[in-house]
Amino acid sequence: MCGRFTSSQRREQIGERFEVAVPETVEPRFNVAPAQRILGVRLDETGERQATWLRWGLLPHWAKDDRVAFKMLNAKAETLTEKPAYRGLLAKKRVLIPADGFYEWRVSPIDGKKEPIRFALHDEALFAFAGLWTSRVDETSGEIIESTTVITCSPNELVAPVHNRMPVILDRELEQAWLDPACSREEALTFLRPYPAELMVSSLASRRVNSVRNDDPSLLEPDADAELAA
């Protein structure tokens, strides 16, 4: 599962990396959590890249209430074509989710409590999670709600000791094809594989990550006692 991630680069850097105009309201984030608005990059009706806000947690049109979204934060790559909620989106509603790290939790060797590990690229560069998106009309307000899910796959050798899943980080050269509706579902599925472990690093993060209220650069630094066990 991918339940928290970072997107800590400046808006200008995201725009340059993904070749898109990024909303001025985008700010560096160090503890992105479920149900929050996250940035997604997709193609508009003219085939141009578009950066937009999406709610994290897929909310299909048939969902009776918002609680369904918490069960759809992630979608398993291996079963996308089997699940009705995802099968129809795989063809034409694919999205890039800009990020520069994600968290998973391990048991501390010091006190037995859970502590976060942050995984990132070895050069701390921006990357894109593979995602799917959908929209629905809120029956009460009439508002159009656009939501997304992060696709996961089996872990690579770096992530495996900490968790049995990892988010799909797309190879950069595959990002445009992932967005392109002309790319078939069958071909798109071949993109959904573990990112090479040798291109990634892991590091202890602060336990303050455990609270979604905390969102600042200090979260990337381990707590003093945890650092001794690194």
For the annotated catalytic residues, the residue numbers are: 2, 104
Q: Are the CB atoms for 64 and 78 separated by under 8 Å?
A: no
CA distances from 190 to 45, 79, 133 (A): 25, 13, 19
* Rounded Cα distance, 194 and 124, in Å: 18
* Rounded Cα distance, 100 and 229, in Å: 25
